Structure 1
Amino acid sequence: MDMRRRNNVTVTGRPDGPTIVLAHGFGCDQNMWRLIVPALADRYRLVLFDYVGSGGSDLSAWSTERYSSLDGYAQDVVEVCDELGVERAVFVGHSVSAMVGVLAAQAAPRRIGALVMVAPSPRYIDDDGYRGGFTADDIDELLESLESNYLGWSSAMAPVIMGNPERPELGRELTNSFCATDPDIARVFARTTFLSDSREDLKHVRVPTLVLECLHDVIAPREVGAFVHAAIPSSRLVTLAATGHCPQLSAPEATAEAILEFLESLK
């Protein structure tokens, strides 16, 4: 199958520049990066795509078996990079995609040379000595609500996830993105996301890594950012003066600036 069509791949920016791969999170698509693309496009070749089951991807390529683990999404990343001949790219992953990037870097180390984790969480459920932000009961309730009434769940949860109640247009955008996702696919992706535990995978990261967290984030509280930073010896932690779980939309200038500063440090 043509990976470009399967994953709705877009290549833009400077053709001869270093490559940045931008990967969206649950319920989203590549359009979520549109506000930071202009800041990166002058100097970098940008690869944007939709995971199978999201956005403009080929839904016929989706399968419950493959996408019931984060490895299936990492496989998407590796196959897109293989198709484009990408080498030593900077992988920018939002939310659950930060952990997908960790897995992709392990699976194909020559394809990914650095990681930028935007609002990452290796585990959403609290554990002994670890605060993920949710109890097991919280996640069970969240998934039960999502599975029984996905559109209702999207309308209620998207504004909470986005934060910034004084800017309701941001919550509406995330709501529309969630609602545009096939409910059956969203249910599987949600379980894959919220029940995942990638903490052990962080120990194997060997590439330069930027961890971007927000001051206030109900999905990935600051304790999570501190955990990720401590688990990856080569990482740098930056706290954005931003609220919510999607700083690429709520604070695009600060997000782009932090990414560019990190990229300059790699030279």
Structure 2
Amino acid sequence: MESSRQERLHELAQFLRSRRARISPEQAGLPGGGRRRTPGLRRGEVALLAGVSVDWYTWLEQARDIQVSPQVLESLARALQLDSNERKHLFLLALQQLPADLSPADSDIRPTLQRFLDLQGTSPAYVTDQRLNIVAWNKAASLIYGNYETMSARERNTVWRTFTSPYVRQLLREHWEAHARHRLAHFRAAYGKFAGDPWWMELIADLSATSEEFREWWPRHDVLSGPEGKKINDHPAVGKLVFDQISFLVSDAPHLTVTINVPSKDDDTVTKLETWLAQ
């Protein structure tokens, strides 16, 4: 066995032992069983909680080169009560890849992130989750794209809103189709992680029943990610607005994406927005 793989297996074994040692039987819902020579759960108890054999789990803690499935790793993560960072670390050590995200609807926004959005001023900025729901925004975004505060959860889904909102079509005019195709391809790429999930299936069915364009384009399986680049809006109150779009993941919450539409330096968008925001 190559030395790098052996080192990774040793690291995995030590990680498992350290996490086993910090959990008491009572915390795991097991009888205490009196005094123990070492703290934490026994190997057999972890195996019981994870639904694997004691021998197999023992081999894993002995850094043996054995096959591990994502399903078993998920069981171990639950048995050892790992948090999200520890779960990712477990998968990287065992499989050299990150696990699928278990909580697509976990969209808590830290106050620091909201302050960051607010400080963007004339740059409309918002945060989307893995389902492409807008979960946070600043004043400029709400003024231009609609009052998110009063929208339903379905209306704050960017795919649903793109394909069903007359206001979005008016705002984008001749640019609507390019935007809609980009949004749909982004949605298709995100769906790959959650294919068959009931929430996604319901939205896809509702969009297919509501939008002729969605019904026609969805079977094409176009996929992509990343920002749209230049965006041109025709706002009913202030007229033409031109933006350059950038997007990035939140480092401590990579299931969230921040999108900022920066006013073009070759246009009077900033002046218009400064006046409007000051009212």
TM-score (norm 1): 0.21
Between the two structures, name the one with larger relative contact order (CA 8 Å, sep ≥ 6): 1
| Higher gyration radius (CA) | 2
TM-score (norm 2): 0.20
